[in-house]
C-alpha cells in the first residue's frame, strides 16, 4: 500500500519520548547551558523604532525568569496539576507565565484576549481553574476561591528565588489546556501532555527545516496553539531566536519586521499573506534573509502561492493540523510542492484515511475517507477535558478521527476534501455554527437563524448568518451584527447577514447548512 509503509502502519516510528519529561525544561534548559548569552526572544512594540530599542531576552535570562515564575507560583499556594487561565496580551510576561506554569507542573490555559466576559467565564468555570492571569486594566470577576494574578503580581513572581530544577513531570502528565470549538456548540478543552513538545519533533525537518541560526517571526496570538508551537516552543527547542510583535496591528508591519529582524522564517495564516501582497510593496523591503514562509490554519490557494512566489521568489510551506495534535501533514524544504495539497505525513507519523462508514483498515490511495492520526503519536492530546462522551466519538480503535475528509495519492500526498461535520474555519480558528446560532437566537427580531462558512472567492471564506426575521420586524443586519459582537469573540462573529424566508431542512427537520448558500 503506497499510503502507509509497513513500518508506519504499526504506529508512530519516531524516537520515543523519555519517561521523565518536562516541556519547559526541554525547550529552555539545554540552550541556557550551551549558549546562555544567545538571544532567545525579541519583543518589538514599535516597528519603526531601532531594533536595539526592542526588549531582548537571552536563553540564560529566559531560563532563570521561567524558573523564578515557577517558584513564585508554588509559593503563592498553587499545586501541580491545577489550571491557570491566561488572559494577557502578546508580551514576554505571557510567555513567562505559560512556561513558568509548565516548569512548576501547573497546567496553563491560554485564552484569547478577544473573548467576551461571558465566554471567558465559561472557560474559567469549565476548566475549574485555580487562578486567572489578566492584562493591565482588565476588569475580571472571578468565582470565590479563584485567584486573580494582576500585572503587579506577575512582576513579583519574576523576582522570586528560582527553582533549582524544573518539575520532574512524567511523559503523560498534563502540560497545558486549550479550548476549541466542536459540533456540540460548547467550546471543549483539549488537554495536552508534557510529551506534546516531543511530538512536534517531526515538524523540525518535515515542515520548517529549522536550525539554531534561524530567526522566526510569527504573526499570531499566544492563545493559539499555532503560535505557541511555531512561535515559541519549536524555536526554543532548537536554540533559535523568536520575534514577538505586540504593537499596532497594521499589515505594513510584517514585511518591515521581516527586513528589520532578518527573519529567516515568517509564519502566518494564508489570509495575512494575501493582505501583505495586496497592501504592501514588497520591493521596498530587504527580504534576502527570509528563506521561506510557513502557513497553516487555512487552506493555501494555488493563486496565493503563485502570487507570493512572483513577489518574493520564496516558497510557502503549508501544514495541516488541529488543536488535538498540532500539524502532522506538511511540505518542507527539499520536498516537491504539489499545488492544492498541504503535503505528506511528517516522517515518523502514522496518518491514514479511514472508511466513512466504519472500520480501522486504511483506505487505498485515491479513496476519500476520514483523516485519522494513530493514537501512538506523542503529539496527540491526552483527551477532552471532562467530556468523555465527546472523546469517545473521536476514537475508532487505535485511531483518532478529527472530522476532516481527505484522500492520499500514490506518493502519499494528502488532498483535503472538506469537513465531515459543520465546524467552520474563521481566520484559522475552528468555530462551531451552533455556538454562533445560540448567541444570535436571543435577538428580538430573529425567528430562527443558521450559520455556515461561505466561500466568497478563491481561498477566502467568511462566517455568514442566514436569518429568518420575525413577522412585523424590520430586517436590520447592523443590529444583528452588533448583537453578535456583544456576545462572541470577534473571530466568531458573522461577517454577513442574509435574510431568508425559510431555512433548508431535511425530512426530519434538521437544518442543512451546506445548502444555505443556495437558499
pLDDT digits over 258-315, tens only?
999 999 999 999 989 999 999 999 999 999 999 999 999 888 988 899 999 999 999 9
Average pLDDT over residues 124-135: 96
41 versus 516: the higher-pLDDT residue is: 41
**Ramachandran region, residue 239 (left: φ > 0; alpha: ψ -120 to 50; beta: rest):** left
Q: Where are the domains of the chain?
A: 18-27+59-195, 197-347, 350-419, 424-518
Residue 437: name the closest of 479, 470, 477, 465 by CA. Answer: 465
pTM of the model: 0.85
Average pLDDT over residues 325-348: 96
- Alpha helices (runs of H) in 128-200, residue ranges in sequence order: 151-158
165 versus 402: the higher-pLDDT residue is: 165
**φ, ψ (nearest 5 deg) of residue 387:** -130, 65
Grid cell listed for 26: 526541554
216 pLDDT tier (thresholds 50, 70, 90): very high
pLDDT at 448 over 90: no
Average pLDDT over residues 483-505: 90
Distance (Å) of CA 4 to CA 350, 355, 356 = 8, 15, 18
Please give the CATH number for the structural domain made up of 424-518. 3.30.300.30
Distance (Å) of CA 185 to CA 430, 432, 434, 451 = 11, 6, 4, 12
User: Do residues 371 and 408 touch, judged by C-beta distance below 8 A?
Assistant: no
- pLDDT tens per residue across span 370-406: 999 999 999 999 999 999 999 999 999 999 998 888 8
Label each residue of 66-94 as H, E or C: HHHHHHHHHHCCCCCCCEEEEECCCCHHH
- Alpha helices (runs of H) in 206-341, residue ranges in sequence order: 225-226, 234-237, 253-261, 270-279, 302-312
Least confident piece of the model among 357-371, 390-404, 426-440, 458-472: 426-440
18-27+59-195 and 197-347 share one CATH topology?
yes
Please give the CATH number for the structural domain made up of 350-419. 2.30.38.10
427 pLDDT tier (thresholds 50, 70, 90): low
Please give the CATH number for the structural domain made up of 197-347. 3.40.50.12780
Please give the CATH number for the structural domain made up of 18-27+59-195. 3.40.50.980
Mean pLDDT of the chain: 91
| Percentage of the residues of the chain whose pLDDT score is greater than 70 | 95
1 pLDDT tier (thresholds 50, 70, 90): very low
Amino acid at each position: 500500500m503506497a499510503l502507509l509503509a509497513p513500518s508506519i502502519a504499526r504506529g508512530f516510528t519516531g524516537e520515543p519520548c523519555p519517561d521523565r519529561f518536562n516541556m519547559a525544561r526541554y525547550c529552555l534548559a539545554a540552550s541556557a547551558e550551551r549558549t546562555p548569552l544567545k538571544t532567545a526572544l525579541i519583543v518589538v512594540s514599535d516597528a519603526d523604532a531601532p531594533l536595539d530599542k526592542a526588549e531582548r531576552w537571552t536563553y540564560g535570562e529566559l531560563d532563570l525568569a521561567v524558573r523564578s515564575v515557577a517558584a513564585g507560583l508554588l509559593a503563592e499556594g498553587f499545586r501541580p496539576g491545577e489550571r491557570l487561565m491566561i488572559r494577557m496580551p502578546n508580551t514576554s510576561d505571557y510567555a513567562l507565565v505559560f512556561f513558568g506554569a509548565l516548569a512548576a507542573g501547573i497546567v496553563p490555559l491560554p485564552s484569547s484576549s478577544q473573548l467576551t466576559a461571558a465566554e471567558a467565564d465559561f472557560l474559567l468555570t469549565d476548566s475549574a481553574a485555580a487562578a486567572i492571569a489578566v492584562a493591565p486594566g482588565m476588569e475580571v470577576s472571578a468565582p470565590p476561591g479563584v485567584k486573580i494574578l494582576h500585572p503587579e503580581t506577575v512582576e513579583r513572581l519574576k523576582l522570586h528565588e528560582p527553582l533549582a530544577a524544573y518539575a520532574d513531570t512524567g511523559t503523560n502528565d498534563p502540560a497545558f489546556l486549550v479550548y476549541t470549538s466542536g459540533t456540540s456548540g460548547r467550546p471543549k478543552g483539549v488537554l495536552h501532555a508534557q510529551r506534546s513538545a516531543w511530538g512536534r519533533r517531526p515538524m523540525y525537518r518535515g515542515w520548517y527545516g529549522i536550525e539554531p541560526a534561524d530567526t522566526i517571526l510569527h504573526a499570531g496570538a499566544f492563545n493559539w496553539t499555532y503560535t505557541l508551537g511555531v512561535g515559541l516552543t519549536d524555536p526554543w527547542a532548537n536554540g533559535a531566536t523568536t520575534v514577538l510583535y505586540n504593537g499596532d496591528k497594521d499589515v505594513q508591519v510584517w514585511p518591515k519586521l521581516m527586513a528589520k529582524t532578518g527573519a529567516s522564517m515568517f509564519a502566518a495564516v494564508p489570509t495575512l499573506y494575501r493582505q501583505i501582497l495586496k497592501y504592501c510593496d514588497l520591493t521596498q523591503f530587504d527580504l534576502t534573509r527570509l528563506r521561506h514562509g510557513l502557513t497553516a490554519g487555512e487552506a493555501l490557494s494555488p493563486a496565493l502561492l503563485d502570487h507570493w512566489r512572483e513577489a518574493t521568489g520564496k516558497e510557502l510551506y503549508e501544514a495541516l493540523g488541529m488543536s488535538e495534535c498540532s500539524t502532522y501533514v506538511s511540505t518542507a524544504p527539499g520536498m516537491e510542492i504539489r499545488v492544492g495539497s498541504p503535503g505528506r505525513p511528517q516522517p515518523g507519523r502514522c496518518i491514514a484515511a479511514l472508511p466513512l462508514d466504519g472500520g480501522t483498515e486504511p483506505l487505498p490511495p485515491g479513496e476519500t475517507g476520514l483523516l485519522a492520526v494513530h493514537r501512538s503519536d506523542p503529539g496527540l492530546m491526552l483527551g477532552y477535558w471532562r467530556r468523555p462522551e465527546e472523546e469517545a466519538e473521536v476514537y475508532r480503535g487505535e485511531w483518532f478521527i478529527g472530522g476532516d475528509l481527505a484522500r492520499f495519492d500514490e506518493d502519499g500526498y494528502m488532498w483535503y476534501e472538506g469537513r465531515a461535520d459543520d465546524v467552520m474555519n474563521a481566520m484559522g480558528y475552528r468555530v462551531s455554527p451552533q455556538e454562533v446560532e445560540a448567541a444570535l437566537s436571543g435577538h428580538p427580531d430573529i425567528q430562527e437563524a443558521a450559520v455556515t462558512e461561505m466561500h466568497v472567492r478563491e481561498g477566502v471564506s467568511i462566517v455568514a448568518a442566514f436569518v429568518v426575521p420575525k413577522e412585523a420586524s424590520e430586517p436590520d443586519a447592523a443590529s444583528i451584527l452588533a448583537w453578535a459582537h456583544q456576545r462572541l469573540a470577534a473571530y466568531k462573529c458573522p461577517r454577513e447577514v442574509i435574510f431568508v424566508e425559510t431555512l433548508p431542512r431535511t425530512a426530519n427537520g434538521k437544518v442543512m447548512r451546506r445548502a444555505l448558500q443556495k437558499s
